[in-house]
Structure 1
Amino acid sequence: MIDVLVVDDDFMVSRIHRGFVERVPGFRVVGTAHTGQEALDAAAELHPDLVLLDLYLPDIFGLDVVTRLRTAGLDCDVLVISAARESDAVRGAVRHGVVNYLLKPFGFDDLRRRLEQYAAQRSGMYAAEVHNQADVDRVLARAASGRATAAALPKGLSTVTAGLVEGALRGTDETMSAAECAQKVGISRVSARRYLEHLHDTGKADVTLRYAVPGRPERRYRWVG
């Protein structure tokens, strides 16, 4: 059983996230917190395996909470759940070693998939016995596999950025161009186009062409799931 601490400043949102987690077999919520300090205190008391951490807390920025967890020697993983789409926040989360980054708002299946990926990665790493370099290489390979999305991303695409692009597309009721997606997520238009095309190739997005501007038609993407 994987113990989870849910951290969100909104009491209703934390209740919803708690309900999501408890629907996933193998996971249980051992506590909730609504500020950064509450999160630190709860982690020290409850020793969760995984912290579902919002970044926008009223007293301490979420990534600073991660730093303090590490400084305190608390051995827990962190999955960021946040509305923060800024590229600096995403890069910072990656540097802090978070296991995943899920954009709000999201549905149960979005979180379930990431929890299942985390459970598979954790199971593989804890079951491994390390005697030599080959064993180390196998552990690292399992970790990389666990971070992969259900539909493997093409070479050069990041799981975290893919989640941000998917969240941006899901969050609009209209179609979205690569340029609009790039501005919203904080990446280049070329990069946004690659991620959007991947969503199209895997059947998660439809593409239409807009001919209202001179030159080549503009490709517009719509989330279909």
Structure 2
Amino acid sequence: MIRVLVVDDDFMVAKVHSGYVERTAGFTVVGTAHTGADALRCVRELAPDLVLLDIYLPDIDGISVLRELRADQSTVDTDVIVITAARDAHTIRGAMRGGALHYLIKPFSYAALRDQLEHVGSLHEKLARLSAGGAPAQQDVDDVFASRPRGTGSLPKGLTQQTADLVRDALRDHPDGLSATECATVTELSRPSSRRYLEHFVSTGRAEVKLRYGGTGRPERQYHWRQ
């Protein structure tokens, strides 16, 4: 179980983000903080594995909190995902140089945060295997450094993020796979539209296709979300 501290100056936003975390398998919220000083104190006292860190805090800005976490040997190993409305290059650069795993711009959907949380979980698993397996080979190290949360990818013209999220969630909710027709029924999209999104996910590596053979006729393409 990956333990998460949620940091946001807005109590209601912190509650929403905490709910997102609790909905995600393998993650639990161990505390919330609403100021930079409280965030630093909670990290030292609770030792979370991950901090969801807002930038706009009433006392210390989030980038300063991130730098202090990295400068303290007792907190340097805590992972951080920045969650903020800040869109300026200076803040983004500060988050990257401070070692944040990712940067989510508010407002974001549960699916967007879930992708990042699953990336963190995957990264923890890979690092654990490295620790348990002796001296890693270069391929093992490359796998860790190349690991990135895979979103829906750059959407082709005519596809929208909202509908892409809808199709993605339908696939996630049906681990046995869906045909384009079945996906259209679940999402209430047309079959051609549903298939366009499914094929996009296949082309970007998020989904895979297996052939479903029936009694007669051509086999049907069945789409499966990659875990």
**TM-score if structure 1 supplies the norm length?**
0.66
Q: Does 1:199 align with 2:183?
A: no
Greater shift in the superposed pair: 136-145 or 11-20: 136-145
1:13-162 maps to which residues of 2 (within 5 A)? 13-73=13-73, 74=75, 75-129=77-131, 131-132=134-135, 135-145=137-147, 147-151=148-152
Number of the residue aligned with 1:168: none
SS of match in other structure, 1:102: strand
d(CA) in 2 for partners of 1:148, 1:52: 16
Q: Is the contact between residue 124 and residue 139 of structure 1 (CA under 8 Å) also seen in structure 2?
A: no
Q: Is the contact between residue 125 and residue 143 of structure 1 (CA under 8 Å) also seen in structure 2?
A: no
Q: Is the contact between residue 35 and residue 57 of structure 1 (CA under 8 Å) also seen in structure 2?
A: yes
d(CA) in 1 for partners of 2:156, 2:24: 28
d(CA) in 1 for partners of 2:37, 2:97: 22
Give the aligned CA root-mean-square deviation in angstroms.
Answer: 2.2
How far apart are 1:70 and its partner, in Å?
A: 1.7
How far apart are 1:128 and its partner, in Å?
A: 1.1
How far apart are 1:143 and its partner, in Å?
A: 3.3
Q: Is the contact between residue 36 and residue 62 of structure 2 (CA under 8 Å) also seen in structure 1?
A: yes
Q: Is the contact between residue 70 and residue 98 of structure 2 (CA under 8 Å) also seen in structure 1?
A: no
Query: Structure 1: which 5+ runs fail to align?
Result: 154-197, 207-224
Larger-Rg structure: 2
Q: Is the contact between residue 121 and residue 143 of structure 1 (CA under 8 Å) also seen in structure 2?
A: no
Q: Is the contact between residue 6 and residue 18 of structure 2 (CA under 8 Å) also seen in structure 1?
A: yes
Query: What are the Cα deviations for residues 109-138 of structure 1, in whole angstroms up to 9, with x where unaligned?
Result: 111111011111121112114644x52551
Quick one: which amino acid aligns to residue 155 of structure 2? L
Instruction: Note closer, same or farther for the CA distance 1:200–1:27 as it changes in structure 2 (3 Å cut).
Output: same
Q: Is the contact between residue 125 and residue 139 of structure 1 (CA under 8 Å) also seen in structure 2?
A: no
SS of match in other structure, 1:106: coil
**TM-score if structure 2 supplies the norm length?**
0.65
Query: Structure 2: which 5+ runs fail to align?
Result: 163-196, 198-227
